[in-house]
Structure 1
Amino acid sequence: MLARNADSLYWIGRYVERADDMARILDVAVQQLLEDATVDTDSMVRHVMAVLGLTVDDEAEHTLWTLVDVAAYDRSCPDSIVGLVRTARENARGAREVISSEMWECLNATYMGLDDAQRRARLLGPHAFLTYVKERAAMFAGLTDATLSHDVGYSYLILGRSIERVDMTVRLLMSRSAYRRDALSWMSLLVAVGAQDTYVRAYRGALDTENVVEFMMLDRLFPRSVFHSLRVAEHHLAALDNRPDRVGAQSTALTLLGRARSSIEFIGRAEMVRDLPAYLTSLQETCRTVSESIAEEHFHIEPYVSWTDTGLAHDFADYGGQS
């Protein structure tokens, strides 16, 4: 596969997952701001924007509407939901030959429908827009699994999605461990990742810090847990690694993923909760380093040869200007 197509598929997976995760986080934050009058709105908005990696204006007074305008609707910001969907669509446009028609149509229709979704949200509230984004991201994921051959291209896309999922889950856990650790805060986290029902069935409704951290970090079956996402990323990256299956021959990115998975796989939940900030910081750094290693090892493209007429002009002068 051409490096540019592999690069596009990897980032399509990341951008769509990031837009989906941002919509989930914003939806929960918006509901909490609307329903809980005791919440300090300015502090909450600054906190959510920091979690999402968005620039916070220290001088301005932030409200629910400034949060949604910046994080969801802002077309000038590449890190807003609209910006992420647009970038995913442009990557898909450049990789039309390696994705299915249904995948392209889904992303294109999603982008074209953002204006209508935003107009509805202005009348009905941000939930309408955020629900639209979540539903379209789910549709794209389903079409990817159902219509794209599970070959090299599929592995690049799922690899990107899995690494982004680890990063966003870590951001959520970092935000809750630093901001609030009460039951309502942990339930908000579970709702944001769509895990509330699965968690309640697994732990019979016992909502406490150790249970939530164990579930989100170590659960082998929930697709948005850190461990599950790391294992999926490791599986697909191993399929893309063309080196001989010998000791010490695997790629740097694969080594980093395996090390990160092993670092959380065999520890007790009490120890993890006690040292949670250190584990989360390490995982976030791993995501960044793995992404850089993948780009270097898989997407490196030689610079284009720049053709000029300098040599021709020199030769022409040597021949006295005669043709």
Structure 2
Amino acid sequence: MLARNADSLYWIGRYTERADDMARILDVAVHQLLEDPTVDPDRTARQVLGVLGFPTADDVSHTVWTLADAAAYDTSSTASIVGLIESARENARGAREVISSEMWECLNATHNELPNAERRARRLGPHDYFSYVKARAAMFAGLTDSTLSHDTGYHYLLLGRSLERIDMIVRMLHSRSGDRTSSPSWMSVLISAGAQDTYVRANRGTVDAEHVVRFMLLDRLFPRSVFHSLTVAEQHLAALDRSPDRAGGRSDAMTLLGRTRSALEFVDPETLGDNLAEHLADVQATCLAVNDAIAESHFHVSPYVTWTDTTPPAGADTEEQ
């Protein structure tokens, strides 16, 4: 596969997953701001924007609407939901020959409908917009699994999706790492990840920090847990790894993923909450390092040919006429 197509598929996976996760996080935050009069809108909006990586100015007072404007509707920002959908669409446009027509039509239609979804949201509330994004992301994921050959391109797209999912789940947990053990905010983490029903069945309704952290970090079966996503990323990267099958032959990205997955697999669950912020920071740093390693080894970030200046230096002898 051409490196540019591999790069495009990888980032399609990351962009669509990030848009989906952002819509989930914002939907829960907006619902909380609108329904709970005891919540400070400015503080909560700043916290959400910080989790999502958006800068917040000290002289601006934030509300539900400014939160949605900055993180969802801003067409000038590549980090907003509309910017992410546009980036995924442009990558799909450049990789039309390696994706299915239905995948392209899904992304293109989603992008074209976003202005109408925004107008409805400004009239009826942001929930409609976030629901639309979540539904379209789910459709794209389903079309990817059912219409794209599970070959090299599929591995790149799922690798990108899995790494982005790890990063976003870590951000959700990190934003709550200082909350009280019994704080109701831990339920918002589960709702944002779509995990509340599965969690309640697995833990018999007990909602506290210790059980939520264990579930979202270590659960082997839930597809949005960090451990499960690490395992999936490792499987897809292994299918792409061109390193020789010898001792010390694994790529840097495979080594980083395997080390982090093993650290979580054998961590003592009883002590996980004691150093939660440290564990989360390590996982997030791994995601960044793995992304850089994949780009260097798979996408040819440096040019194939480096042209050198063949102009003779000043004062050099020239051929006689």
**TM-score, normalisation: structure 1:** 0.94
Deviations 1:212-259 (A, max 9, x none): 111000000000000000000000000101222111101000000000
Give CA-to-partner distance per residue, 1:65-109, whole Å, 9 cap, x none. 100000000000110000000000000000001000000000000
Q: Is 1:119 equivalent to 2:131 in the alignment?
A: no
Report the CA distance between 1:57 and its aligned residue: 1.1
- Could you list the runs of 5+ residues in structure 1 that have no partner in the other structure? 312-317
1:81 is aligned to: 81
Judge conservation of contact 1:163–1:230 (CA < 8 Å) in 2. Answer: yes
* SS of match in other structure, 1:255: helix
Q: In the alignment, is residue 170 of structure 1 matched against residue 170 of structure 2?
A: yes
Q: 1:180 to 1:43 in 2, by over 3 A?
A: farther
Post-superposition CA distance 1:14-40 (Å, at most 9, x none): 000000000000000000001111111
- 1:16 touches 1:85 (CA, 8 Å); kept in 2? yes
Q: Which amino acid aligns with 2:156?
A: Y
Cα deviation for residue 268 of structure 1 reads: 2.1
Greater CA drift, 65-74 or 52-61: 52-61
Residue of structure 2 in register with 1:149 after alignment:
149
Give the superposition deviation at 1:276.
Answer: 0.5
* Aligned equivalent of 2:2: 2
Cα distance between partner residues in 1 of 2:181 and 2:51: 16
The SS at the match of 1:245 is coil
1:28 equivalenced with 2:28 (yes/no) = yes
Aligned counterpart, 2:283: 283
Q: C-alpha separation between the residues in 1 aligned to 2:320 and 2:128?
A: 72
Question: What secondary structure does 1:297 align onto?
Answer: helix
Q: Which runs of 5+ in 2 are unaligned?
A: 313-318
Alignment of 1:62-81 (within 5 A): 62-81=62-81
Q: Structure 1 109/242 Cα, relative in aligned 2: closer, same or farther at 3 Å?
A: same
What does residue 221 of structure 2 align with? 221
Deviation at 1:182, TM superposition (A): 3.5
**Given that residues 181 and 210 in structure 2 are in contact (C-alpha distance below 8 angstroms), is that contact kept between their aligned partners in structure 1?**
no
> Contact 1:213/1:269 (CA < 8 Å) preserved in 2?
no
8 Å contact from structure 1 (residues 148, 154) kept in 2: yes
| 1:272-308: CA deviation from partner (whole Å, max 9, x where unpaired) | 1111110000001000000000000100152577799
Residue 299 to residue 58, structure 1, CA distance change in 2 (3 Å): same
Change (3 A) 1:63 1:180: farther
1:11-50 alignment runs, 5 A limit: 11-50=11-50
Q: Residues of 2 paired with 1:198 and 1:31: CA distance?
A: 21
RMSD, aligned CA = 1.9
Residue 235 of structure 1 corresponds to: 235
Q: How does 1:170-319 map to 2 (within 5 A)?
A: 170-179=170-179, 181-300=181-300, 302=303
Write the distance in 2 (CA, Å) between the matches of 1:33 and 1:255: 42
Kindly indicate whether the alpha-carbon contact (under 8 Å) linking 2:182 and 2:207 is maintained by their aligned counterparts in 1: no
- Give 3-state SS (helix, strand or coil) of 1:59's partner: coil
Identity of aligned residues (%): 65
Report SS of the residue matched to 1:177.
Answer: coil
Contact 2:230 2:257 in 1 (8 A): yes
Q: Deviations over 1:177-217 (max 9, x none)?
A: 13554341111110000000000100110111111111000
Which one-letter code corresponds to 1:160 in the other structure? G
4+ runs deviating over 2 angstroms? 178-183, 303-308
Report the CA distance between 1:269 and its aligned residue: 1.7
Figure out how many residues of one structure are paired with residues of the other and give that number. 315
Is the CA contact (8 Å cut-off) linking 1:92 and 1:99 kept in structure 2? yes
Q: Structure 1 residues 204, 303: closer, same or farther in 2, change over 3 A?
A: same
Measure how far apart 1:264 and its partner are.
1.0
Aligned residue identity for 1:130: F
